[in-house]
Structure 1
């Protein structure tokens, strides 16, 4: 019979399972082992899932390449075998043209799998075949497998909770998109989804306790403060100076989409700050219940100041990294940097500044809420 028990000392936070033979097994090892088995099964399935696709898939068996005279264009003459559908097992020839930059095209290799368009005659013989896309699910599965294995190996049950939270949030985002496509107000739907993100993420990962409650309130108030500042600025300035060039392909007004982007993008950083502050205060108090209230507050403030700087930089890197190709393009065409920043990446600057406001506001809010919740424990006195 299996029994759970805790080992004092350096293993006090590790859960072990003891069987009838007295063998001790770390819970993390069990989680990682089960996940490893499931991941291997998943990888085997994805590596042989061609029959589940409606599109025709072919596996490249050989490639012959030929460069153009100016060496700016490369033509690949490909032989491949069809893996699914009516023409399964038949060999086809394909042609693929690539440029040196490969910005709008792909260069294939042997054993790559591609989606192809097949045209046949009434006798079910192939007349022509063309490549229409690259089958990427294998590579996505490999990266996902590594990510899952690492997070479970390092964080154990906490990592499993984090993965569960991630899956739940992805489902919420998919619901948001579907509701918007069915005519619902995007800002309203995104606001409701943000509350769900906060509650599900923090409760699943940290459980139902005062630390989580402090982080939830701090995240909500910090996000609302940031959004309120952004909306007031938009109203006062009538959104002058905000350029929506990157959304010019949209057939709907860009403002609701941009506000929703700010809301969801800001939420992640503020949530990270809030749970870090509340967790730090709770941990310091639990390690030293006699700690003075002033000392606890100063320590929490110091932690918050350090995180504030790193998280602000994180927002800068996250938002500007996606604009690097456009920045380089405009610079190569002779546009001055100030004009690029003013016109072409103004949206990223607004997102970054709004998120930074939320971070700054959430730190003191979470600190004082955590202190209030610990008040019943009479900070500075032994319980």
Structure 2
């Protein structure tokens, strides 16, 4: 693992130059932030409040340390915050209603000798996982759309706000295909072992649809995809509103 990490560092520095040091520093901060989130939750801090604070730290690092243009960074950060709130509003009732949190029956053998009285709210923990899981793809999408729109505005200063809004959807549609495919492939990659178990045990289709682990992964993927899709109109609207104020 050490050799693989050193290879990653060397290749990053070769491709990005000295900027790679900034990227590595930001990556280190985000890793420490996620570890801090786990420790704080384990120590009894409120899951949702702690997740919200750590999520904002991760967004600040992921956006402001990787984007040179201040306007692009500000718009992308606002978009990411709005999407994070929307995801929370969707996820909180959905997780409590679906009851997909916690362990599934497939975990029985591994957990047989352990106590499940962890003193944590599993629904809140599931919400925290979805929020943290969505941050990377949402910030990446918002930065990509904002950067593209700002470039269009700079090259064509005579564009009307409505044309900027339409261009935002045009840029976003091209990015959405890549991001949704990324989420889809990530879903299959994380659930491959689970599907092998399901196949070997001969689950019926109705049992698969009601399996806790499957439903949990599907919910995570769908909610993250909804967040990515909403990034397009929200980013376009923020740039559109900024252009309107300049008139």
Q: Shorter-normalised TM-score: what interval? A: 0.7 to 0.9
- Paired position in structure 2 for 1:270: 138
- Alpha-carbon contact 2:183-2:221 (below 8 Å) kept: yes
Q: Does 1:202 pair with 2:102? A: no
- Paired position in structure 1 for 2:210: 342
- Paired position in structure 2 for 1:225: 86
Q: 1:357 to 1:204 in 2, by over 3 A?
A: same
State the TM-score, normalizing by the size of structure 2: 0.85
Number of residues of Structure 1 aligned to a counterpart in Structure 2: 237
Q: 1:187 to 1:150 in 2, by over 3 A?
A: same
- Paired position in structure 2 for 1:358: 227
Q: 1:325 to 1:241 in 2, by over 3 A?
A: closer
Deviation at 1:259, TM superposition (A): 0.9
Aligned-partner SS, 1:205: coil
Summarize the alignment of residues 277-296 of structure 1 with structure 2, pairs less than 5 Å apart: 277-296=145-164
Spell out, residue by residue over 1:130-183, the C-alpha distance to the aligned partner (whole angstroms, 9 max, x if none).
xxxxxxxxxx12211222222222233443322221111111112222222322
Between the aligned partners of 1:166 and 1:341, the Cα distance in structure 2 is 37
Farther off after superposition, 325-334 or 305-314 = 305-314
Between the aligned partners of 2:15 and 2:244, the Cα distance in structure 1 is 34
- Paired position in structure 2 for 1:239: 98
Spell out, residue by residue over 1:186-238, the C-alpha distance to the aligned partner (whole angstroms, 9 max, x if none).
22211110011111221111146111000000001012112201223345xx3
> Among 144, 149, 169, which residue is 1:301 paired with?
169
- Alpha-carbon contact 2:48-2:124 (below 8 Å) kept: yes
Deviation at 1:258, TM superposition (A): 0.8
- Alpha-carbon contact 1:247-1:254 (below 8 Å) kept: no
Q: 1:320 to 1:298 in 2, by over 3 A?
A: same
Q: 1:171 to 1:349 in 2, by over 3 A?
A: same
Between the aligned partners of 2:100 and 2:51, the Cα distance in structure 1 is 25
Spell out, residue by residue over 1:272-317, the C-alpha distance to the aligned partner (whole angstroms, 9 max, x if none).
1111111111112223323444433322211212222321221222
Between the aligned partners of 2:183 and 2:2, the Cα distance in structure 1 is 28
Q: Which has the larger radius of gyration?
A: 1
Spell out, residue by residue over 1:50-74, the C-alpha distance to the aligned partner (whole angstroms, 9 max, x if none).
xxxxxxxxxxxxxxxxxxxxxxxxx
Q: Looking at both structures, which has the greater relative contact order when contacts are Cα pairs under 8 Å and sequence separation is at least 6? A: 2
- Alpha-carbon contact 2:149-2:171 (below 8 Å) kept: no
State the TM-score, normalizing by the size of structure 1: 0.57
- Alpha-carbon contact 2:72-2:143 (below 8 Å) kept: yes
- Alpha-carbon contact 2:101-2:123 (below 8 Å) kept: no
Aligned-partner SS, 1:161: helix
Gap runs ≥5 in structure 2: none
- Paired position in structure 2 for 1:189: 50
Farther off after superposition, 250-259 or 323-332 = 250-259
- Paired position in structure 1 for 2:185: 317
Between the aligned partners of 2:164 and 2:66, the Cα distance in structure 1 is 24
Between the aligned partners of 1:240 and 1:183, the Cα distance in structure 2 is 22
Q: 1:247 to 1:266 in 2, by over 3 A?
A: farther
Summarize the alignment of residues 59-208 of structure 1 with structure 2, pairs less than 5 Å apart: 140-207=1-68
Summarize the alignment of residues 4-23 of structure 1 with structure 2, pairs less than 5 Å apart: none
Q: 1:291 to 1:166 in 2, by over 3 A?
A: same
Between the aligned partners of 1:239 and 1:333, the Cα distance in structure 2 is 24
Provide the alpha-carbon RMSD of the alignment: 2.3
Between the aligned partners of 1:162 and 1:362, the Cα distance in structure 2 is 24
Aligned-partner SS, 1:323: helix
Gap runs ≥5 in structure 1: 1-139, 379-383
Between the aligned partners of 2:187 and 2:148, the Cα distance in structure 1 is 28
- Alpha-carbon contact 1:172-1:193 (below 8 Å) kept: yes
Aligned-partner SS, 2:10: helix
